[in-house]
Chain A
């Protein structure tokens, strides 16, 4: 950690640890899932947001090409007109409200261990994001839309997804441990 960086720059401020009981947060998320299934008839979801934004951007840049690609073409001419896009906006807003109330908004933080640089950390974040974006399409959802939402209905595919998610994570965790070294 270079001399002009503070604990704040790497997300180590004291206010960051004043969280609610994780079990009760989990129950709260479970209640949100129940509410979503009883009102919307679907679970929650997040990965559709960036994916559909990607489809819209590709449409703006190369409309004919995008219309000829089977996957994005299936989302129609207005991929952003979709309930999960609005849900992700809501997730951002809800997170913002909570973070503001708890005094946890700290702009410009690149969260990492003290002994790790900001640039390599952002490269890990980007590399992982690419893989997650791809894997979420393949699995038809992410931790929210597939693991939690499908798991809530005990869908076998979703349960397989969760098990493999943790297997993949634990199997490769040693490769990325240094970014959290203090």
Chain B
């Protein structure tokens, strides 16, 4: 059984940094040995002159796919120990297309450029500086790019296009072998060389790849669960998927705005209200008593509230709180709730002036709203027009005496 740095939430420790440095060194060594310190060789794949990129990438992916599948099938990597990147169909497709354009234009990608720089290539240095500027441009434009960035975001990571993973891996091995022979053949057609085309090495290698892929079928317990990489988030020992799913189904992972408002007005100190929107939005307006924690920091920053009775997450919508809730649940937090309908729901249901409700309200309710408004809409903390529709909260003049 292996417990990873990720699984122990220790990726930000000096030991992990050192381990990452060593992994990087091995990675860089292998890239350089493959000839990937040369942009000419890398770009060659797009002109069928030098197909090394295909040979190396398919080999690396197949080795890792088969190795990790077998390790997890044998239960050596318990679920929850692998970082599963989010699946965002649109962003991955557009990002891939753009990346391909940049790759063929420059002849580099970031990892190979680091190796190219080590080999003394100026074009690699220029590429890396430009990569940094490209990231800065992304940050500056993020507000506008956000819809694209989250275009096709799935609520949990998706695997192998929904095909059973052992089947997909086997098919991938077959495609890989075809790609190997095609690469050798086309190199021979274009450049007169296909060094491994007739070699015994490539035959033996191809047979080995397919044979190892085939063992995924006969492995004990071969089924969906043999590929536990597919389900680690929900099968962590500290966190049963059944409890979370039933909580989701029954809505028990939500807290209604009215309930929260009452708790806050009463000064309930055992409720930790967390705003996970961006800093600017938080500064403009937040629910009184909320602390600001960016989504990426929730695990680190909320650790100290593990024993609080309630951690309540809110954002503009429900997607980000759900992500944060999943992350926290995976770390064994059992006290996390999401504010129903987010900030908008809170504004609509608790802070909307009584006169703007379409239906008549009971006297207790009118009194409640007055109390909430006077508590949450103090002079120092009033929502601007930007937050919530104007008819919901209204400009300061329309707020009425109870808000003062």
Are B99 and A34 in contact, with the CB atoms below 8 A?
no
Are A164 and B92 in contact, with the CB atoms below 8 A?
yes
Bound: A28/B160 CA distance, A: 24
Determine chain A's interface SS by DSSP, over half rule: helix
Are B95 and A139 in contact, with the CB atoms below 8 A?
yes
Residue count of chain A within 8 Å CB distance of chain B: 136
Q: Decide: A90 near B11, CB < 8 A? Known: A30-B62, A164-B97.
A: no
A60 at the interface (CB under 8 A from B): no
Are B102 and A132 in contact, with the CB atoms below 8 A?
yes
B258 at the interface (CB under 8 A from A): no
B55 at the interface (CB under 8 A from A): yes
A14 at the interface (CB under 8 A from B): no
Are A91 and B24 in contact, with the CB atoms below 8 A?
yes
Type the 1/0 row for B200-241, where 1 means its CB is closer than 8 Å to any CB of A: 011001000000000000000000000001000000000000
Type the 1/0 row for A114-132, where 1 means its CB is closer than 8 Å to any CB of B: 0000100110111111111
Are B82 and A153 in contact, with the CB atoms below 8 A?
yes
Residue count of chain B within 8 Å CB distance of chain A: 141
Bound: A127/B129 CA distance, A: 11
Q: Tell which of B45, B58, B71, B102 touches A131, judged by Cβ atoms closer than 8 Å.
A: B102
Query: Across the interface, which residues of B come within 8 angstroms of A107, CB to CB?
Result: 120
Distance from A158 Cβ to chain B, minimum over Cβ atoms (Å)? 7
Are B100 and A167 in contact, with the CB atoms below 8 A?
yes
Residues of A within 8 A of B (CB): 11, 16-17, 19-44, 46-47, 49-51, 53-55, 57-58, 66-76, 81-84, 86-99, 102, 104-113, 118, 121-122, 124-144, 146-173, 175-177, 179-180
Bound: A72/B107 CA distance, A: 27
Bound: A136/B94 CA distance, A: 10
Bound: A51/B110 CA distance, A: 10
Distance from A43 Cβ to chain B, minimum over Cβ atoms (Å)? 8
B334 at the interface (CB under 8 A from A): no
Are B130 and A92 in contact, with the CB atoms below 8 A?
no
B290 at the interface (CB under 8 A from A): no
Q: Decide: A26 near B63, CB < 8 A? Known: A90-B24, A127-B106, A156-B159.
A: yes
Bound: A149/B229 CA distance, A: 13
